[in-house]
Amino acid sequence: MISIDLIQKTAEVLMNKAAIEIPDDYLTGLKEVARFEDGDLSSFVPQAMLENYEAAKEDRRAMCGDTGTPRWYVKMGNETQIEGGPIALEAALRRATANATNGVPLRPNRVHPLWRTDHDNNVGIGAPEIEYGYEPGGEWIDLITVHKGGLFGTDYRMLFPSDGIQGIKRFFLDCLVAFGKRGLACDHRHRSGRLQGHLHGSGQTRGLPAHCGRP
């Protein structure tokens, strides 16, 4: 059985890392961009991002003032037993979100959808969102936290069947470039912090974080 205390402590670590750190592969790429870009603006932006990251890492504070809206992706084995059951699991993730909002701190972006009540902790009705997935066998649980926001970088269109996978990729890239040029959305690679912790029924944590990347 996996203890609820271990789940909450792991979730708080992931929340902290998702707000402050960026993956090594992206950091390496950002340094390469800063080294090769020679335009006034194109060289200034990646250099400023690198300086922001160093300051965030040193001071243990969020990379960006707007930390989006935290959400969770939970996957577990079919035989997984959690102390207190699924209600306790959801409560632990909500507590971890509230604690991180006050501790990191994260920007409290959540309000009630109708009467705009603000609890100042990113927790409310259906918030944070928690998506569940299950796999056969084993007693384990994966936790992934993602800090994201829509801002104005949201769009949609109808695709034809003939567009296929390439059409989906092209639409995504076109939107990314268009909104980025207009300053309406943050770089998706920076704003989509994803950290994963793998917990076992023995109460041990394996590979925390087991994955640090971008969804």
Q: Per residue in 182-197, pLDDT tens?
A: 666 665 443 333 344 5
Other CB atoms closer than 10 Å to residue 138's CB: what's the count? 13
- Which of 187, 189, 207, 188 has the alpha carbon at shortest distance from 197? 207
Residues of the chain above pLDDT 90, percent: 35
- Residue 171 to residue 163: CA distance in whole angstroms: 10
- The tens digit of pLDDT for each residue in 137-171 reads 888 899 998 887 655 667 788 999 999 999 999 99
Residue 117 confidence (pLDDT): 87
How far apart are the C-alpha atoms of 177 and 174, rounded to whole Å? 5
What average pLDDT is seen over the chain?
81
Q: State the average pLDDT over residues 108-112.
A: 87
pLDDT score of 178? 80
pTM (two decimals):
0.75
Q: In this structure, what token pair is assigned to residue 57? A: 């890492």
Distance CA 197, CA 22 (A): 16
Res 155: pLDDT: 78
As a whole number, mean pLDDT of residues 124-132 equals: 92
Task: Name the DSSP class of 106.
Answer: P
Is residue 181 predicted with pLDDT exceeding 80? Answer: no
